[in-house]
Amino acid sequence: MKATIWHNPRCSKSRETLALLEAAPGVEVTVREYLKVPPSRDELAALYARAGLSPGEGLRRGEAVAKELGLADASDDAILDAMAAHPILIERPLVETAKGVRLGRPPEAVRGIL
């Protein structure tokens, strides 16, 4: 099985989720450091749709740029635009497999798509 993790190596939950994926038998992991290779707005919209999450649920509201842009009550479209422009706003890690997409918070949440 193939799994893609949208990863930030500075994040402990992202590192824990990556370790869980690497330890899972038969899982071929692709690491995408989204701060270096940001997803497009369309990629984000598709990921959240597959995860059953709204963009607002995937927003790192505590980031300074989220506050500066006034995203607390923003529309999903505005949030997606902001995430595409400022990938630090993307809650991590997101894991994608053929079975779906999960936010690895907690890391064990990804087991359901392995």
Looking at residue 19, what is its pLDDT? 97
What phi-psi label fits residue 40: left (phi over 0), alpha (psi between -120 and 50 degrees) or beta? Answer: beta
Angle at which helix 76-85 crosses helix 41-51, to 10 degrees, equals 120
The pLDDT averaged over each successive group of 10 residues in the chain (114 residues) is: 97 97 97 96 96 96 96 96 97 97 96 96
Gap between the Cα atoms of 28 and 2, Å rounded: 5
Q: Which positions are annotated as active-site residues?
A: 11
Looking at residue 5, what is its pLDDT? 98
Total count of domains within the chain? 1
Residue-range definition of the domain harbouring residue 108:
2-113
Give me the residue label for tokens 């990804």. Answer: 110
Q: What CATH code is carried by the domain that includes residue 26? A: 3.40.30.10
Gap between the Cα atoms of 63 and 77, Å rounded: 18
Looking at residue 55, what is its pLDDT? 97
Looking at residue 8, what is its pLDDT? 96
Residue 87 burial (C-beta neighbours within 10 Å; 0-12, 13-18, 19+): buried
Looking at residue 46, what is its pLDDT? 97
Q: In the chain, which ranges are continuous DSSP H helix?
A: 12-23, 41-51, 64-68, 76-85
Looking at residue 79, what is its pLDDT? 98
Looking at residue 18, what is its pLDDT? 98
